[in-house]
């Protein structure tokens, strides 16, 4: 059985695990900022909310050298838009197309056992200073996914590196509690980057997650 994946939330700098030929949705080049972004996506209001904000607001929240792969970003209440100017009409047209792709994929996720979303835990869920899990925001997110009956259709991604100060070393116990409590599908990717090795890791670990469903 062939499985299909699309990024639901997280950090665009970590999306390499889905590979170069991934299905690109509306959050492919953004950092989602918690449960609010998910709520807009799942309610069918995401594209309109971003475009209305860009058209009616003075977009001034520039972030220099974001994640080392962009010279600027724009901060909306719910997402950080990277690599693109949200006031650009071409970007807005592309956003609408990608959101329609997302909404179509969402229907397939609900109707087919081989369609899944991925969700990599970003700085909204893991404090950059303390490296501890933001349990309050995570619980809000998990409860929202449960409300939309999507909790079992989301693969949660954590990253682990050879660095002794790697975040995983600080929050793994906390996360394991939620993995067990909510029966989450979860994998950890080592030394995540945009290389083909990262994508291969993802595919191999997915085989373990779906070992009872792969024919």
Tell me the CATH class for 4-43+108-209: alpha beta
Point out the least confidently predicted range of 44-48, 161-165, 200-204: 161-165
The domain segmentation of the chain, as residue ranges, is: 4-43+108-209
pLDDT for the residue numbered 66: 47
pLDDT for the residue numbered 192: 64
Collapsed DSSP state (helix, strand, coil) of residue 189? strand
Higher pLDDT, 138 or 63: 138
Point out the least confidently predicted range of 21-25, 109-113, 128-132, 146-150: 128-132
Under the banding of pLDDT at 50, 70 and 90, the label for residue 11 is confident
SS3 letters for 98-162? HHHHHHHHHHHHHHCCCEEEEEECCCCCECCCCCCECHHHHHHHHHHHHHCCCHHHEEEEEEECC
pLDDT for the residue numbered 169: 61
Under the banding of pLDDT at 50, 70 and 90, the label for residue 165 is low
pLDDT for the residue numbered 63: 55
pLDDT for the residue numbered 166: 57
pLDDT for the residue numbered 65: 45
Higher pLDDT, 151 or 122: 151
pLDDT for the residue numbered 135: 92
pLDDT at 196 over 80: no
Collapsed DSSP state (helix, strand, coil) of residue 5? strand
pLDDT for the residue numbered 215: 41
CA distance 11 to 8: 10
pLDDT at 214 over 50: no
């Amino acid at each position: 059985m062939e499985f299909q994946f699309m990024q639901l939330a997280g950090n665009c700098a970590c999306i390499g695990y889905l590979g170069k030929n991934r299905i690109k949705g509306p959050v492919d080049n953004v950092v989602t900022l918690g449960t609010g972004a998910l709520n807009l996506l799942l309610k069918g209001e995401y594209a309109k909310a971003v475009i209305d904000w860009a058209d009616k607001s003075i977009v001034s929240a520039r972030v220099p050298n974001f994640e080392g792969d962009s010279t600027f970003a724009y901060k909306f209440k719910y997402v950080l838009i990277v690599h693109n100017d949200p006031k650009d009409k071409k970007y807005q047209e592309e956003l609408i197309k990608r959101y329609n792709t997302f909404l179509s994929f969402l229907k397939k996720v609900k109707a087919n056992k081989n369609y899944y979303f991925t969700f990599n835990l970003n700085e909204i869920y893991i404090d950059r200073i303390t490296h501890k899990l933001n349990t309050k925001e995570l619980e809000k997110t998990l409860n929202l996914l449960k409300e939309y009956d999507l909790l079992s259709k989301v693969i949660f991604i954590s990253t682990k590196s050879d660095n002794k100060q790697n975040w995983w070393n600080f929050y793994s116990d906390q996360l394991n509690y939620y993995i067990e409590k909510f029966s989450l599908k979860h994998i950890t990717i080592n030394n995540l980057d945009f290389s083909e090795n990262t994508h291969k890791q993802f595919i191999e670990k997915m085989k373990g997650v779906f070992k009872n469903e792969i024919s």
